[in-house]
Structure 1
Amino acid sequence: MRETQRETVQVSPLSDDLAFLDIVTEWDMVTVYQDWKTSIVVPPTFQPGSLPRVVAVCNQKGGAGKTVTTLELAMALVARGLRVRIIDADPQRASMSVWLRFFRPEGVAADGLKNLKDLFFDDDLSLQDITYATPYEGLHLVPSFPDLDDVESKQPPGTDTNLQFHLRKADDDIDVTLIDCGPKLGPLTVSALVAAHDVIIPVQAASGLDAVGAAALDATLATVRKRLNPDLRVAAVVLTDFSRSSLARKIGGSFARKYPDAAILPARTNVRIGDAQLAKEPLRLFEPTATTVLDYDCAAGVLFGRGRS
């Protein structure tokens, strides 16, 4: 692993007296709308993930909030003392590797930097070789560039199990690996699902199309479970860009019925996310008291517990 800690900063925990959402055991579709309260749903059957953990953040629809969800969960986890690796499995130019700064090893030119694509084509490369430190203590990134699309088009041998093989082989002390998947259910996303213990599904709370499109993801999950990863579970649905509305309530209710053992996690809307991306800062540092930040912090606690004691 490429460690460069001389410039890193520690991510601080949030204060307990901020306006966190309440936690309940079921999504409320009974209370009249005027009295309905937005809450985090943690079913009695939900179990936090044990460590170490590999989590795929996945939805086949673009603009669902996968990258925001991945980064803000990662920042909340490192604030709890966990060591986190983000794998950017999205070949788009506007991906995690553009938003999250990372340290390039000394003497390595930008065009010579090894990235996720190389892991699929170079048998001599290890996951540690392409895991780079970021400016935040405990947070590391496996970057990708647009040529990651070569994995989709050429599908080198072993693509489906590549990430699983390298994650199992990795000799490091990473507690949580978050895989930020691209907006299609191709070989890269399948490789992420095969490697993962859990899936987190970000869904736009204001988009009925996101709810309809979840059927395609369900089919892919069923295929992966049947053939390669029978223990894969949907751990959570994150309702991104959430604002209180009857549509958001219906969408939350539909996913609570679809995944009765999963946490349903509203992430309230924030107009500064775009500004944070341009500044190349996580929202948690750009606007630390934003309700979105609070929601992802609470989500991290629900999904992984308190972190290291």
Structure 2
Amino acid sequence: MRETQDLKVQVAPLSDDLAFLDIVTEWDVESAYQHWKTGILVPETFQAASFPRVVAVCNQKGGVGKTTTAFELAMALIAHGLRVRIVDADDQEASVSVWLRYLLEAHPEDRRLNLRDLFFDAKVKLAEVSYPTPYEGLTLVPSYPDLADVNAKHPTGTDTCLQHHLRKADDVDVTIIDCGPSLGAMTVSALIAADDVIIPVQGASGLDVRGAGALNRTIATVQERMNPDLRVAAAVLTDFERSKIARKIGGSLARAYPGAVILPARTNVKIGEAQLAKEPLRLFAPGSTTVLDYDKGARILFGLGAAA
């Protein structure tokens, strides 16, 4: 791993007396709306992840909160003392590499080594494209827009490239792959490498639920042909506000993924401000409901302490 940061920020755990959502075992779509209380659905059959773990944050639709989900889950995990790597598999400018871009701008000599090199140069190792961040326990594999070459040119070994590199890595507890808004070769490579999939869906968008069909077919194909142990661990209702449509979407996700956690991530206007400030929301607005939801989601998904 390249040493590029001298000062480290220690991310602290949150207090348990904050306004976390309750855990429920069924998503309520039957009671009168005025009596409905939002909760995090954790099916009785759900099993917390073991370590090490590779998680792909994936949805073929853009603007659903994939990067926020990947980054804030990572921040919650390092606050609990875990070592986390984020792999930026999104060639858009609105990606986690941009959120942490100052890390790379401070070291322009390292720009040539990024995720694209891992696919196009068999001699490049994962450690050579993994960079420390200012946050204790968090490393980043960055990307640039030319990562799109992977989908366009499909170099030899694309499908199993990430699996090949990540299965040999023992320097982190959790790898989170922030996928791009397509179901191309890069996303397939992430799904083949992953143990779990987390699917962000906007809490007020019925089109996002309908659009999940293509992703489900891709997941099923990967399970059938390349990665039979891949599971959908969670669906995240991003920009969540209590409403009839959000309640209905949550019910649809619960039916589509009966073994998955359904995590409402309550809306927060400060997410955009945090991105402009190039800070994680967890540090920019530590008491916000969005931060609380991702923190509790991380505890549930990975069995960290008391999540109830």
Normalised by the length of structure 2, the TM-score is: 0.96
Q: In the alignment, does 2:43 pair up with 1:43?
A: yes
Q: In the alignment, does 2:107 pair up with 1:113?
A: no
**C-alpha separation between the residues in 2 aligned to 1:121 and 1:244?**
46
| Closer, same or farther: CA 74–247 of 1 in aligned 2, 3 Å | same
How far 1:3 sits from its partner (Å)? 3.6
Secondary structure, aligned partner of 1:270 = coil
**C-alpha separation between the residues in 2 aligned to 1:238 and 1:194?**
21
- Percent identity, aligned pairs only, is 70
Match of 1:11 in 2: 11
**C-alpha separation between the residues in 2 aligned to 1:103 and 1:122?**
23
Match of 1:302 in 2: 300
Letter in structure 1 aligned against 2:125: S
How far 1:30 sits from its partner (Å)? 1.6
Which digits, 9 at most, give the CA deviation of each residue in 1:284-304, with x for residues without a partner?
000000000000000000000
Match of 1:156 in 2: 155
| Closer, same or farther: CA 250–81 of 1 in aligned 2, 3 Å | same
Match of 1:146 in 2: 145
Secondary structure, aligned partner of 1:162 = helix
| Closer, same or farther: CA 215–257 of 1 in aligned 2, 3 Å | same
RMSD (CA atoms): 1.4
| Closer, same or farther: CA 31–144 of 1 in aligned 2, 3 Å | same
Q: Is the 8 A contact 1:102 1:141 kept in 2?
A: no
How far 1:199 sits from its partner (Å)? 0.1
**C-alpha separation between the residues in 2 aligned to 1:113 and 1:158?**
21
**C-alpha separation between the residues in 1 aligned to 2:64 and 2:23?**
23
**C-alpha separation between the residues in 1 aligned to 2:102 and 2:171?**
19
Q: Is the 8 A contact 1:102 1:132 kept in 2?
A: no
**C-alpha separation between the residues in 2 aligned to 1:3 and 1:305?**
31
How far 1:169 sits from its partner (Å)? 2.2
Match of 1:134 in 2: 133
**C-alpha separation between the residues in 2 aligned to 1:221 and 1:150?**
23
Q: Is the 8 A contact 2:4 2:107 kept in 1?
A: no
**C-alpha separation between the residues in 2 aligned to 1:266 and 1:53?**
23
Secondary structure, aligned partner of 1:178 = strand
How far 1:100 sits from its partner (Å)? 2.1
Which digits, 9 at most, give the CA deviation of each residue in 1:191-223, with x for residues without a partner?
000000000000001001000001000110011
Which digits, 9 at most, give the CA deviation of each residue in 1:89-147, with x for residues without a partner?
0000111100025645997525x430000000011111111000001000000000000
Unaligned runs of 5+ in 1: none
Match of 1:214 in 2: 212
Match of 2:275 in 1: 277
Letter in structure 1 aligned against 2:159: D
Q: Is the 8 A contact 1:102 1:133 kept in 2?
A: no
**C-alpha separation between the residues in 2 aligned to 1:106 and 1:212?**
42
Q: Is the 8 A contact 1:101 1:134 kept in 2?
A: no
Secondary structure, aligned partner of 1:19 = coil
- Paired residue total: 305
Shifted more, 291-300 versus 3-12: the winner is 3-12
Secondary structure, aligned partner of 1:160 = helix
**C-alpha separation between the residues in 1 aligned to 2:94 and 2:175?**
21
Normalised by the length of structure 1, the TM-score is: 0.96
| Closer, same or farther: CA 107–72 of 1 in aligned 2, 3 Å | closer
Which digits, 9 at most, give the CA deviation of each residue in 1:210-245, with x for residues without a partner?
000010001100111111001100000000000000
| Closer, same or farther: CA 21–126 of 1 in aligned 2, 3 Å | same
Letter in structure 1 aligned against 2:147: L
Q: In the alignment, does 2:64 pair up with 1:69?
A: no
Secondary structure, aligned partner of 1:169 = coil
Secondary structure, aligned partner of 2:13 = coil
